[in-house]
Chain A
């Protein structure tokens, strides 16, 4: 069974960089895209971006200038960095396999001064 476990800082100040990592347990890392999705409190889902084992990435155009997604295939990990955060980036962040079958548990990231 595939499991995704994510972690990272949950409280940031404005202008800081959000950093989250997701480790994939079980199953194949290659052959899939791996992505990040976020959900502001009480709101809907927003796709952030994705990466595959070759390092090919796709990003949400609205976030592209601030987002970097990277992967360490040897560790079956992929990471999200979002720079210059503001209160609007406060959300529950999820990692997921690119076919959307398997999801991480979610990490609440709050941006507050």
Chain B
């Protein structure tokens, strides 16, 4: 059971906009920055978004992040087949004194 809650799956067709949610609490998302990672099959995770809404170097502007209260979201617009991957949110938890991850969302491009 992950500290942060993500939907296990999401899907969309090419060109569509997809949103992936990440829900936490006041001890984690509510008081700290959120990062998002993309993991393509067989590869190490890649930092997509840091500090809630900052794109990491080289990440297309089709990817955007936002945070409100104890929840965060990753939006992908103009969906492309190469976006098919697992996506994880992460943040620091003040109660656990630990980084915590969401369980991951598998994005399928139909």
Contact = CB atoms under 8 A, between A and B. Distances in A.
A100 B101 contact: no
Given A61-B96, A99-B50, A101-B56, A45 B101 contact: yes
B88 interface: yes
A44 B100 CA distance: 11
A100 B2 contact: no
A60 interface: yes
Contacts of B2: 44
Contacts of B46: 103
Interface residues of B, number: 21
A27 to B, nearest CB: 14
Contacts of B88: 44-45
Nearest to A47: B99
Interface string A61-73: 1000000000000
Contacts of B96: 60-61
Interface residues of A, number: 19
B104 interface: yes
A60 B101 CA distance: 12
Given A44-B88, A100-B35, A101-B56, A58 B44 contact: no
Contacts of A94: 44-45
Interface string B86-108: 00101000001111111110000
B109 to A, nearest CB: 20
A100 B37 contact: yes
A44 B57 CA distance: 24
Interface of A: 35, 37, 44-47, 50, 58-61, 94, 99-101, 103-106
Given A44-B101, A101-B57, A103-B45, 12 more contacts: A44-B88, A44-B104, A45-B88, A45-B104, A46-B101, A47-B90, A58-B98, A61-B98, A94-B44, A100-B37, A104-B44, A106-B44
Interface of B: 2, 35, 37, 44-47, 50, 56-57, 88, 90, 96-104
